[in-house]
Chains A and B, each alone.
Chain A
Amino acid sequence: ASQVLVMGPDDYIVAVVSSLNRPFGSGIMTPSGILLNSQMLDFSWMNETEDHSSPSLMNSIQPGKRPLSFLLPTVVRPSEGMCGTYLCLGANGGDKALSSITQVLVNVLTYNKNLSESLSLGRLHPQIQSNILEVDSEFPEEDINYFTSIGQQVNKVEVLSLVHGARRTNNFIIGVKDPRSMDAAGATIL
């Protein structure tokens, strides 16, 4: 998925997450250069899975229907008044986006860490179908040791999900990219 996060001088917060489903979507490209999506893969199909889980009837294919989506643009603001912390988050990585955004929110709102640190800290993602716990390269070794010591299978991967964010505290605004991304960039108007 692709993310765009904007906190503008007009006091609007905008988060856009868009996708073609798989990389390059269906791989079909029109003569005018449009790459077409493969979004039908996000529907749940009968007899498709080999594990113990079953396809969801709620997410079955029907004409005109939208498939289940893990695109999660997220906005946070003070629950009362206008003073305080505003956040704008986006993530890629399918269902890993849900795990990643949850952990970033815990880092910022519970531990009161700054956004930059919150995005850079290691993250985990439990695979509910295989019961394997995936962790990224920034995840602390001592925490991995804890999981392995209790019998949890852990799979370490380079990147689970890229989470970008923007934060506004009163009139101070900052845009921060996930340090795991080489290409992303956050910029601020001073």
Chain B
Amino acid sequence: AAEKEASQQSSLGAYSPVDYMSITSFPRLPEEEAAVAGGGGSESCLRSRKEEDAFLGEQETDPDSFLKSARLQRLPSSSSEMGSQDGSPLQETTKDPFSGDCSCRQDGLTVIITACLTFATGVTVALIMQIYFGDPQIFHQGAVVTDAARCTALGIEVLNKQGSSVDAAIASALCSGILNPHTAGLGGGGVMLVHDIRKNESRVIDFQETAPFNIQEEGLRKAWETKPGLLVGVPGMAKGLHEAHLSYGRLPWRQLLGLAADVAQDGFNVTHDLAMAIKDVKEQHNYSDRFKEIFLPDGQPLLPGMFMRRPDLAALLHLLGSGGVSAFYSGNVTQEIISEVLKYGGTLSEEDFSNYTVLVDNPVHTIYQGHLVLSPSPPHVGPALITALNILEGFNITSQVARDNILHWITETLKVVLALASSLGDPFYNASISHSVEDMMSKSKANFLRQQIDSQPYPSELHIPHFSMESGPS
């Protein structure tokens, strides 16, 4: 009987395009299995099966019609008929036939899907965090602008060495002090505004010079022309740039100063601006011998394009690079500066240097034409710039408006804000400045000032009292 069964199976498989087992292995119903195990016994069950298979084997040889008829035989057309077919091996069931062994397979699939989703979520979160907090993977553009081409090139060089924007600014600023010593340098001060685009955070690093502790207004007023040492404030440049580097630097401090020192050591061409400045001071006699030795060699001013080196500044920058800013504020350099200043009638002391601090503050800001404008807070005149923009935003400045009106608005606005700027000062020494700045930058104040400007013909008298902004012959 077994051989006969095997023969039937193989003969079916020979001409059927479908797998025989796929037809005969319809899932067994639980009741059927129960019947096999219980009352009927295995023998009757096996016989029933064989009868079925024998029936299937007698069907037409056409595979399509065979399949069709097989399914019709196995599946009732409706559940109502099912119960009435006593001879059918199929029986009605009330249980889910897939709830047994198949549930194990479903759990496995759930685990796989869950694992995949968890992995995908983790990867996605990691990628998002990398985009926002990681180093940029695409090295896109950057730009540097300075007053001298050599210093611009140095800034680009620093960026190409993977230095930060602040690194580039530090190197370029030091370079400017070498190429254009008439405008800036380690003996001066300044202000840096840093803006982080991604975080929308801004900081003002104020390293402007401060007045010496022993300065007296009367002495200054009487003798500043004959004692230029009185004009010297405590230099903030070195400490300010170092502070910026501590917060935003990426390349080592020593390397940055080394790059600037190389410019001084290797030499450069005299800029037109420096040559013009030297020419302007040529006839003045109150400059030191050291000054004349460098900028007026043999009594003749340096000309544009002439090649010059500054090994003295190179050595100084190397010293600051290796020794840090303490070399400037509490070392031999300090003594040297104090000595020179005292020689020229000034009052700088060691205490001035040791007490000098860089200020880090938030910038003042306004929204103008859909843009956030940021500028330094007092004692810088950033609030005056903000006020100017607040006033101008309310005017209808377009290319369709008469040019005369626009010139009137701009000129009068500038007059107003220049007058307002003259009332500013260091807020650490006068708390009322902070209050007046808030009032100055308010939109209501801008509206008031705009109405005043608009209601008067041009040229009008100033609306705001102003203070002197010039000292001495300048």
Contact = CB atoms under 8 A, between A and B. Distances in A.
Interface residues of A, number: 131
Contacts of A26: 228-229, 231-232, 344
B231 A76 contact: no
Contact of B145 (A5, A30, A82): A5
A51 to B, nearest CB: 7
A53 B235 CA distance: 30
Interface stretch (B13-21, B47-55, B103-111, B150-158): B150-158
Interface stretch (B24-32, B35-43, B77-85, B362-370): B362-370
Interface in A101-143: 101-103, 105-106, 109-111, 124-126, 128-129, 131, 133, 142-143
B185 A4 contact: no
Interface in A66-86: 66-80, 82, 84-86
B235 A37 contact: yes
A45 B136 CA distance: 51
Contacts of A3: 145-147
Interface of A: 1-49, 51, 53-80, 82, 84-87, 92, 95, 98-99, 101-103, 105-106, 109-111, 124-126, 128-129, 131, 133, 142-143, 146-147, 150-152, 162, 164-166, 168, 171-177, 181-190
Interface in B281-297: 281, 284, 286-288, 290-291, 294
A68 B176 contact: no
Secondary structure of the B contact surface, majority rule: mixed
A65 B211 contact: yes
A41 B474 contact: yes
A63 B213 contact: yes
Nearest to B238: A34
A181 B428 CA distance: 37
Contact of A63 (B146, B195, B211): B211
Contacts of A76: 371-374
Given A14-B192, A59-B425, A36 B389 contact: no
A55 B213 CA distance: 21
Contacts of B56: none
Nearest to B171: A4
A98 B388 contact: yes
B458 interface: yes
Interface in B236-291: 237, 248, 250, 271-273, 277, 280-281, 284, 286-288, 290-291
B468 A18 contact: no
B151 A189 contact: no
Contacts of A99: 414, 418
28 contacts: A4-B173, A9-B140, A13-B197, A14-B195, A16-B193, A21-B188, A24-B277, A24-B281, A28-B291, A33-B290, A33-B316, A37-B232, A40-B211, A45-B217, A45-B220, A59-B424, A67-B209, A71-B191, A73-B376, A75-B193, A79-B370, A82-B197, A87-B371, A99-B414, A129-B470, A133-B411, A181-B147, A183-B148
Interface in B356-387: 363, 367-376, 378-382, 384-385
A93 to B, nearest CB: 11
A189 B307 CA distance: 28
Interface residues of B, number: 154
Nearest to B240: A18
A6 B371 contact: no
A98 B191 contact: no
B188 A18 contact: yes
B205 to A, nearest CB: 9
A7 B214 CA distance: 41
Interface stretch (B61-69, B120-128, B442-450, B459-467): B459-467
A12 B291 contact: no
Contact of B426 (A67, A75, A143): A67
Given A24-B277, A48-B472, A187-B143, A77 B372 contact: yes
B337 to A, nearest CB: 6
Contact of B208 (A66, A79, A111): A66
B211 A187 contact: no
Contact of A20 (B188, B198, B413): B188
Given A26-B231, A27-B291, A189-B141, A32 B164 contact: no
Contact of A71 (B224, B380, B423): B380
B433 interface: yes
Interface stretch (B3-11, B87-95, B397-405): B397-405
B164 A8 contact: yes
A186 B181 contact: no
B96 interface: no
B471 A45 contact: yes
Nearest to A32: B316
Given A26-B344, A63-B211, A126-B411, A14 B169 contact: yes
Given A23-B277, A28-B344, 8 more contacts: A4-B145, A24-B291, A29-B290, A37-B235, A40-B224, A76-B373, A99-B414, A177-B145
B161 to A, nearest CB: 12
B468 A48 contact: yes
B303 interface: no
Contacts of B197: 11-13, 77, 82, 86
A151 B363 CA distance: 39
A98 to B, nearest CB: 6
B330 interface: no
A28 to B, nearest CB: 5
A126 B211 contact: no
Given A26-B344, A106-B397, A34 B337 contact: yes
A50 B419 CA distance: 17
B185 A124 contact: no
A55 to B, nearest CB: 5
B459 A152 contact: yes
